[in-house]
A = this chain, B = another copy of it.
């Protein structure tokens, strides 16, 4: 039933999706949908939560647990690959999270913002760990890292759309593109040699 909802919401959008269509696609009657998921809002929230959980689980599973012999570079790379693989495999869920949930008012925007913050926090911790690998006491302020994490997440989101729309670009390719763009800059920052506007 949630499958049908995710598919319909992802393709039609929150407003354009009708409970009728969702119920029909799920092969049940409308009142049944209301029995389990008490309103359109709750149904959409449930979709968001399910897809958010699936996405974070996939990324965490990809990145793996921190450990002595596992460099952060590798964990980041694997996490990104898992992210792109998941979005490619669940285009409707990704559409719900990335496109629909953020555009239809507070109740949902908050839900997806929480997801985003969770991912940003995760990425932030990875960046911090990476920096500590390079330099015992890296000169990275918290505000700086938050911005970097947001930038990384946004870049990943955009690349996900691009990879899905571009034949021949798979998850590894997308992940490599993002690493090529950002890994070097992260290292500079950890060493305190990051770009600064002074030069220009």
Contact = CB atoms under 8 A, between A and B. Distances in A.
Contacts of A178: 151
Interface residues of A, number: 59
A190 to B, nearest CB: 11
A157 interface: yes
A176 B196 CA distance: 7
B195 A169 contact: no
Contact of A181 (B73, B161, B169, B185): B185
A65 interface: no
A182 B179 contact: no
Given A73-B199, A100-B103, A173-B147, A181 B152 contact: yes
A185 B180 contact: yes
Nearest to A153: B158
Given A154-B154, A158-B154, A148 B189 contact: no
Interface of A: 12-16, 71, 73-74, 77, 99-100, 102-105, 143-144, 146-148, 150-159, 161-162, 166, 168-169, 172-189, 194-197, 199-200
21 contacts: A13-B14, A13-B15, A15-B16, A77-B197, A99-B103, A103-B103, A147-B159, A150-B158, A150-B162, A152-B155, A154-B159, A175-B197, A176-B197, A180-B194, A180-B196, A181-B181, A181-B182, A181-B186, A184-B184, A184-B185, A185-B185
